[in-house]
Chains A and B, each alone.
Chain A
Amino acid sequence: MRAEKHIGFIKLIRLTLNGMGKIYFVPYLFLFIFMPIASYADYIKSSSVDFCYFSTYVWLQVICPFISIWWTLFGFREYIEGSGREALLVYKRGILPELITVFLFYFLHIVVLLALYNFIVGFNYFGYIFIYFTQSFAFFAFSLSLAFIVRNISIPFIICIIYEIFCMGAKATGLDFINMLSPNIPSEPSGVFFPYVYILAAFIILLPICHLRYNKL
């Protein structure tokens, strides 16, 4: 019975992601095709391994958080704004476990990507994995929280894009949350941990609160 429950859980996630059609593959495209090309291009441009290491660190902060919203926002679109929402709500209350599982599944891909960087070119980014996790989780939680409130996926998606562009253009070191433009890679463990732990905690609290809005029409 318990196994049946878990199988059902996985099956639902599989079918949900299946329902995305071709756009399901977008994160793969960014993580495993765009990222290596960007790193290689930076190496060709600068002929410097150090610069390539730094620029890849920055690219990871640009790509990983933003793409984290893809599967959860577009995959679960039907639950948020689709015409099937009413029927789905009758049979299923709460989609938080599924969403978090999909996010963790996504983050597993980032771990694989970091492992590939480590294995193929010797760039070790595992020390910053907490930063990538927090940033990705913040994007994931923010986009869904907003989607639950406004019952729409386009608005959070556009806001995430605008924020991403803003961060790229603002060159503000104060934007520690997504500090893709911060001049230095944190060398101290505290730089990796703070302020990200607060941000992570905030979004861990925010998501379930906004999710409460999901359960009623």
Chain B
Amino acid sequence: MLTIDNLEKSFKKNKALDCFSCEFEHGIYGLLGPNGSGKTTMMRCICDLIKYKGKIDCGGAKIGYLPQQFGMMKSLKLFDMMKYFATLKKIPTPEQDEEIKRCLELVNLYDKAKDKVGSLSGGMVRRSGIAQAILGDPEVILFDEPTAGLDPEERTRFKTMLKSIGKNKTIIVSTHIVSDVEAVCDKIVIIDKGRKKFIGTNEEVAAIASSKAYLVEEKFEGILSGNYYIKDRITRNGENYLYVLSDIPIENSIAAQANIEDGYLCALKNI
């Protein structure tokens, strides 16, 4: 379990994290927020990479971390790079090879084990980063934008892998892509301007937008009032519609089925 209590971090006058408190139990958490909302800063604080105010307690659990940017000695073979991390993580030598094999197989890179890191594609390097993060079976794993640069197949594989390793662990996946978290995460934490906006299950996040999602004919755009957000413009039966999230009911509109993305946007826009 990971407890964050009143976490604060400022970069000069900018508050990256502002009284952020949260309890992460076992499970997969999606940390959702727009760019600059404080997701990476929070992960860096958990890893004790930067100075911060507040308290972070992970009970001495081992941490695995995939930073937003990851690349390693390009002249090393992938297997040796993994060995490097295995040694850093103090995995006993006799167990290293087996553990490396397990992790590389999970990210579908075992056949590239003898290739040099420099010869791998960007997506493969990203997957090798995921492999090093899960190496040694850490109890707390932090993935910062893990699917950036992954093709759709590998994205799906990553989600499947998350589900398979997620038991009895605390996994936090930071992203701004809602579809990355909705399929695999037990809970979603919405963060904006360094503050926790909401924490709940997928259903609870979607429920934020229930009775707030409407399809409005484009010609009625002028009647929109109150706190609203035009999420999309769609065409249905030859008619142009606006997909609107609004905190007040809209006349001449069709109620739409709200999803997690709508809930996320409602939380962000205070709708």
Given A89-B49, A90-B47, check contact A12 B76 (CB 8 Å).
Answer: no
Kindly identify, within residues 55 to 77 of chain B, every residue whose CB is under 8 Å from any CB belonging to chain A: 63, 65-76
Which one, B86-94, B103-111, B193-201, is touching chain A?
B86-94
Q: Separation in Å of the B246 CB from the closest CB of chain A?
A: 41
Q: Which of A45-53, A63-71, A79-87, A155-163 contacts B (4 or more CB under 8 A)?
A: A79-87
State A84–B80 Cα separation when bound (angstroms). Answer: 14
Residue of B50, B83, B93, B129 touching A87 (CB-CB under 8 A): B129
A7: B residues at CB distance < 8 A = 93
User: Is the Cβ of A18 less than 8 Å from the Cβ of B51?
Assistant: no
Number of interface residues of A (CB under 8 A): 25
Q: Do A12 and B88 form a contact, CB below 8 Å, given A87-B129, A90-B63?
A: yes
A residues within 8 A CB of B84?
12, 15-16, 19
Q: A4 touching B88 by the CB < 8 A rule? A: no
Distance to closest chain B CB from A84 (angstroms): 4
Q: Which residues of B are found within 8 Å of A83, using beta-carbon distances?
A: 69-72
Interface centre among A8, A16, A20, A89 (most CB of B within 10 A): A8
Within 8 A of B (CB), among A16-42: 16, 18-22
Q: A19, B75: Cβ atoms under 8 Å?
A: yes
Q: For the complex, what is the distance from the CA of A19 to the CA of B83, rounded to whole Å?
A: 12
Interface contact B73-A87, CB-CB below 8 Å: no
Q: Do B70 and A8 touch across chains, with their CB atoms under 8 A apart? A: no
- Given A7-B93, A87-B67, A217 and B72 touching (CB < 8 A)? no
Please name all residues of chain B whose beta carbon is closer than 8 Å to the beta carbon of A21 when the two chains form the complex: 74-75
Say if the beta carbon of B132 comes within 8 Å of chain A: yes
A84 adjacent to B72 (CB under 8 Å): yes
Chain A residues with CB below 8 A from B47, complex form: 89-90
Q: Name the B residues within 8 Å of A216 (CB-CB).
A: 49-51
Q: Are B72 and A86 in contact (CB under 8 A)?
A: no
Cβ–Cβ < 8 Å partners of A86 in chain B: 44, 49, 65, 67-70
Does A92 make an interface contact (CB < 8 A)?
Answer: yes
Closest A residue to B48 by beta carbon equals A90
Contact size range, B = 20 to 34
For A119, the chain B residues whose CB sits under 8 A away are none
Check if A8 sits within 8 Å of B75, measured CB to CB. Answer: no
Kindly state whether residue A11 has any CB partner on chain B within 8 Å. Answer: yes
Give Cα distance in the complex from A91 to B93, angstroms: 17
Check: A88 CB closer than 8 A to any chain B CB: yes
B85 touches A (CB below 8 Å): yes
Asked if A4 and B87 sit within 8 Å, CB to CB, the answer is no
> Which chain A residues border B132 with CB–CB below 8 Å?
87
Asked whether, in the complex, the Cβ of A217 is within 8 Å of the Cβ of B80, the reply is no
How close is A157's CB to chain B, nearest CB, in angstroms?
Answer: 18
A176 at the interface (CB under 8 A from B): no
Nearest-neighbor residue (CB-CB) of B64 within chain A: A90
B80 near A11 (CB under 8 angstroms)?
no
Give chain B nearest CB distance to A18 CB in angstroms: 6
From residue 120 to 170 of chain B, which have CB atoms closer than 8 A to chain A? 129, 132-133
A92 touches which of B44, B51, B83, B88 (Cβ 8 Å): B88
> Do the beta carbons of A82 and B72 come within 8 Å of each other?
yes
Could you tell me the distance in whole angstroms from the C-beta of B255 to the nearest C-beta in chain A?
Answer: 46
User: Chain A's nearest CB lies how many Å from the CB of B180?
Assistant: 20
Most buried by B among A83, A86, A87: A87
Q: For the complex formed, measure the closest distance between the CB of A72 and the CB atoms of chain B, giving whole angstroms.
A: 15
Inter-subunit contact A82/B71 (CB<8 Å): yes
Determine whether the beta carbon of A84 is less than 8 Å from that of B44: no
**Quick check: is A78 within 8 A (CB to CB) of the other chain?**
yes
Q: Which residue of B lies closest to A3 (CB)?
A: B93
From A92, which residue of chain B is reached at the shortest CB distance? B88
State in angstroms the CA–CA spacing of A7 and B94 once bound together. Answer: 12
Complex Cα distance, B71 from A21, in Å, reads 16
Interface residues as binary, B20-63 with A (CB distance below 8 Å gives 1, 0 otherwise): 00000000000000000000000010010111000000000001
Pairs across A and B, CB under 8 Å, 14 listed: A11-B83, A12-B84, A15-B87, A20-B75, A78-B72, A84-B70, A84-B73, A86-B44, A86-B65, A86-B69, A87-B65, A87-B70, A90-B47, A92-B88
* Seed contacts A82-B72, A83-B72, A84-B70; 7 additional CB < 8 Å A-B pairs: A4-B93, A15-B84, A20-B73, A82-B71, A82-B73, A83-B69, A90-B47
Q: Which 9 A-B pairs have the closest CB atoms?
A: A19-B73, A21-B75, A83-B71, A86-B67, A91-B88, A84-B72, A19-B76, A90-B65, A83-B69
